[in-house]
C-alpha cells in the first residue's frame, strides 16, 4: 500500500529556458497507480550522463532521466516512471528503483532536495540516509559496481519528437502501440523488465479476454432484442 504521504497532492513546476511557464508538473492519484502529468510543450533535450547508461534533461528544472527505455522522475521524495516523455506516470517503490538510476551523481539532479545539497556532487545521493536502514539492508551493494561493466545506454525514442503537447497520445494503450511500431526496444535490466511487464504486457494479455467479454455482452444484447421482436 502507498503511504499516506504518497496520497497527498503535490504541485511543482518544470521549467526550460525557452518555455518556463509552459512546462508544469502535477502529481495526482490514479488507480491502480499514482500518475504524474508533466506538461512539456515538446520532447525535451536529453544528454548522456558520462560513464552511465542514463540520460538527463539539463534544461528542465526537474530531476528528469531516461534509462533502459523508460523515463524516470524523482519528485517529492518519490520516483515515477513512464514510457513516454509526458506520462502518464506510475509510482515506483523505493525498493524497485533500478541501481543505475540510484547511482546517478547528485550534480545531474536539476532540482535536488535540500538534503542532497550537503553531499558531494560527483557521488550519488545517500539513499540509505534518505530511505532508512531497512531500505539500505535490502538494497545492499547498490553503490558498488564495476564502471567498466556498465551497459550501453538504450537508444532514445526520438520518434516521440513528432508528438508535441497538442498531438500527444495520452492513453497508455495508444502509447504502447506506437512504441511497438516505432521504437521496439525491450528493457534489459531485470528490475525495469518487471515494471514494463506489469504495466504493458499484462494489459496485452488481458485485452483479448476483455474483447471476448465485450463480444459476449454484445451477443447477449442481440439475443434479448431478437426475443423482444418475437
Query: Of 17-31, 148-162, 200-214, 216-230, which gets the smallest average pLDDT?
Result: 17-31
Cis peptide preceding 88, ω within 30 of 0: yes
Q: Name the more confident of 201 and 227.
A: 201
Model pLDDT, residue 225: 52
Q: What is the average per-residue pLDDT within 59-84? A: 94
Q: In 10 A of CB 10, how many CB atoms?
A: 15
Model pLDDT, residue 199: 85
Query: Of 25-34, 136-145, 160-169, which gets the smallest average pLDDT?
Result: 25-34
Model pLDDT, residue 220: 52
d(CA 150, CA 152): 7
Q: Name the more confident of 227 and 145.
A: 145
State the sign of the Cα–Cα–Cα–Cα dihedral 11, 15, 20, 24. negative
d(CA 177, CA 188): 20
pLDDT for 5 beyond 60: no
Query: Of 126-130, 144-148, 198-202, which gets the smallest average pLDDT?
Result: 198-202
Query: Of 35-39, 100-104, 161-165, which gets the smallest average pLDDT?
Result: 35-39
* Predicted structure pTM score: 0.77
Amino acid at each position: 500500500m502507498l503511504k499516506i504521504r504518497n496520497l497527498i497532492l503535490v504541485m511543482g513546476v518544470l521549467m526550460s529556458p525557452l518555455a518556463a511557464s509552459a512546462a508544469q508538473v502535477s502529481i495526482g492519484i490514479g488507480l491502480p497507480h499514482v500518475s504524474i502529468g508533466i506538461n512539456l510543450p515538446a520532447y525535451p533535450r536529453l544528454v548522456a550522463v558520462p560513464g552511465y547508461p542514463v540520460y538527463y534533461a539539463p534544461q528542465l528544472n526537474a530531476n528528469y532521466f531516461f534509462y533502459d527505455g523508460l523515463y524516470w522522475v524523482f519528485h517529492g521524495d518519490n520516483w515515477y516512471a513512464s514510457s513516454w516523455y509526458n506520462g502518464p506516470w506510475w509510482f515506483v517503490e523505493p525498493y524497485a528503483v533500478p541501481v543505475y538510476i540510484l547511482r546517478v551523481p547528485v550534480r545531474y539532479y536539476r532540482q535536488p532536495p535540500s538534503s542532497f545539497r550537503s553531499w558531494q556532487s560527483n557521488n550519488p545521493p545517500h539513499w540509505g540516509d534518505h530511505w532508512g536502514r531497512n531500505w539500505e539492508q535490502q538494497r545492499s551493494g547498490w553503490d558498488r559496481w564495476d564502471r567498466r561493466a556498465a551497459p550501453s545506454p538504450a537508444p532514445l525514442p526520438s520518434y516521440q519528437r513528432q508528438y508535441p503537447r497538442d498531438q500527444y497520445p495520452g492513453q497508455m494503450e495508444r502509447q504502447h502501440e506506437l512504441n511497438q511500431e516505432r521504437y521496439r526496444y525491450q528493457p534489459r535490466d531485470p528490475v525495469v523488465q518487471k515494471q514494463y511487464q506489469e504495466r504493458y504486457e499484462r494489459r496485452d494479455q488481458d485485452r483479448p479476454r476483455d474483447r471476448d467479454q465485450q463480444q459476449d455482452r454484445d451477443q447477449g444484447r442481440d439475443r434479448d432484442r431478437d426475443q423482444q421482436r418475437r
